[in-house]
């Protein structure tokens, strides 16, 4: 489908050096350092108001950083106007020009840069997103998913060094979103551009990106490959935002070269030393819900298996591929257990007394505690809230 020769130009590195953005009343982005290598699919993941969209807008040139430098492909673009930057954006609202046809929308950037044969190139880009048959329509005559693809074609056709995606799939329904996720990833691989995707959808970030940076309150909390982030979150925020986690407050009892032995109430939780951010005092450890197993009797604890119990099942939801159990004990609070439905029939019922176990190697030790407010103190002044609301619009 794609003519590789046409889109041979590769993406460029993006470097953010100590980028900072302050608005009256609050700081949206705190001294951010980030390098995105050419040709990668990078996701900036975070809740709304974490500063991810502000970061994207600064890269696009739509917002001026208070401090710091933005370097694209070795050139400092910090002071360049948006139209002078080798960057294109797929906007959350699509921002298609309503008075132009789909074809003219896609050809817009090419015409501005006086690229030869803009109409043919625009048709080619529309073919890439399988919408060439709608080239003469106006944006208002297209469905949301089609508009999204036009917005993508309009950006990709310019072969920018860097393509910015600002939650472009947010308005689509689940099925269409899955389909677009796959298409986007395919297009990125085909054209070899550098993609920077901003999203609050952790599943979307994990399925699409090579590298995910989790952002919270203006800072990057953790960055890495999706598997790495999921398997070894370093902070409470990442452990809870990227998937779900069961967290325990523990006291370190003994530290060896390879293992950390901790006590959580009456239970002992063991974890590998290289999976922990701290190795003494009190700390927070966690484990993913699908790593847990339910038992009707207390299993024998050994060095390789952590056991917590007894607890009582307080909620069961049947998802289809799995069943989610909520178990509660006075000592550890609520725990989530996801069990694959490999066997027919109910495995446990409401009110049952159970024990929970998991392999010690699945435990991770975090750098902070659930009570911490995070690196930036939350600003709850009226002005800050108003500014944030205005930015969120």
Partner 1 sequence: MAITAFAPGGGAVEQAPRKRPWTALILLAPGIAYMLLFFLAPFIQLIITSLQAPAASGGIGEYVAAFQLSNYADAIVEYWPHILRSFAYALIATVVGLLISYPLAYLIGVKLRALPMLQGLALILVVAPFFISFLLRTLAWKQILPSEWIGTHFSVVFGLIYNFIPFMTLPIFSSLQQLDMRLVEAGADLYASPTTTFFKVTLPLSMPGVVSGTLLSFIPMSGDYVNASREFLGGTDTAMVGNVIEANFLQTQNYPIAATLSIVLMAIILVIVATYVRRSGTEDLL
Identity of the residue, 114 or 175, whose beta carbon is nearer to partner 1 in the bound complex:
114
The nearer residue to partner 1, 12 or 276, going by C-beta atoms, is 12
- Least distance (Å) from partner 1 to the CB of residue 61? 7
Cβ closer to partner 1: 82 or 361? 82
Comparing CB distances to partner 1, the nearer of 113 and 186 is: 113
Work out how close the CB of 103 gets to partner 1 at its nearest, in angstroms, rounded to a whole number: 14
Using CB under 8 A, list all residues that contact partner 1: 60-62, 81-84, 87-89, 91, 93, 95-99, 108-109, 112-113, 138, 154, 158
**Residue with Cβ nearer partner 1 (131 or 162):** 162
* Cα distance between residue 71 and residue 11, in whole Å: 13
- Min CB(98)–partner 1 separation in Å: 7
Please identify, using beta-carbon distances, which residue of 80 and 301 lies nearer to partner 1: 80
State which residue, 73 or 265, has the beta carbon closest to partner 1.
73
Question: 32, exposed or middle or buried, with CB in 10 Å at 0-12, 13-18, 19+?
Answer: buried
Instruction: Tell me the closest approach of the beta carbon of residue 62 to partner 1, in angstroms.
Output: 5
Shortest distance, CB of residue 93 to partner 1, whole angstroms?
A: 5
Query: Least Å distance between CB 332 and partner 1?
Result: 48
Q: What is the 3-state secondary structure (H, E, C) of 24-40?
A: CCEEEEEEEEEEECCCC
Minimum CB distance to partner 1, residue 303 (Å): 57
Smallest distance from partner 1 to CB 140, Å = 10
Nearer to partner 1, 159 or 219 (CB): 159
């Amino acid at each position: 489908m794609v003519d590789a020769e046409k889109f041979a130009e590769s993406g460029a590195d993006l470097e953010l050096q100590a980028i900072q953005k302050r608005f009256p009343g609050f700081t949206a982005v705190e001294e951010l350092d980030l390098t995105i290598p050419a040709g990668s699919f990078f996701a900036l993941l975070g809740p709304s108001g974490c500063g991810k969209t502000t970061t994207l807008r600064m890269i696009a040139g739509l917002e001026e950083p208070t401090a710091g430098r933005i370097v694209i492909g070795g050139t400092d673009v910090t002071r360049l106007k948006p139209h002078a930057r080798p960057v294109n954006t797929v906007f959350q609202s699509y921002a298609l020009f309503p008075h132009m046809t789909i074809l003219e929308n896609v050809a817009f950037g090419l015409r501005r840069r006086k690229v030869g044969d803009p109409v043919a190139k625009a048709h080619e880009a529309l073919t890439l997103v399988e919408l060439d048959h709608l080239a003469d329509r106006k944006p208002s005559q297209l469905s949301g998913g089609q508009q999204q693809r036009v917005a993508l074609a309009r950006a990709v056709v310019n072969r920018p060094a860097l393509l910015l995606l600002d939650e472009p799939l947010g308005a689509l329904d689940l099925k269409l979103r899955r389909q677009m996720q796959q298409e986007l990833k395919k297009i990125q691989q085909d054209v070899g551009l550098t993609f920077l995707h901003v999203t609050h959808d952790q599943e979307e970030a994990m399925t699409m990106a090579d590298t995910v940076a989790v952002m919270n309150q203006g800072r990057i909390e953790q960055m890495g490959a999706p598997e790495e982030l999921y398997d070894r979150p370093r902070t409470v925020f990442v452990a809870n935002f990227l998937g779900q986690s069961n967290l325990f407050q523990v006291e370190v009892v003994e530290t060896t070269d390879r293992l950390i032995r901790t006590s959580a109430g009456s239970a002992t939780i063991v974890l590998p030393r290289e999976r922990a951010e701290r190795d003494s005092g009190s700390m927070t450890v966690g484990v993913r819900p699908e790593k847990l197993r339910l038992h009707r009797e207390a299993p024998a604890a050994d060095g390789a298996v952590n056991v917590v119990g007894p607890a009582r099942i307080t909620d069961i939801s049947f998802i289809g591929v799995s069943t989610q159990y909520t178990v509660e004990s006075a000592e550890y609070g609520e725990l989530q257990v996801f069990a694959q439905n490999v066997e027919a029939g109910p495995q446990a019922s409401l009110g049952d007394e159970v024990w929970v176990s998991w392999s010690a190697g699945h435990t991770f030790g975090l750098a902070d505690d659930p009570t911490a407010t995070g690196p930036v103190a939350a600003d709850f002044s009226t002005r800050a809230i108003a500014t944030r609301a205005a930015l969120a619009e």
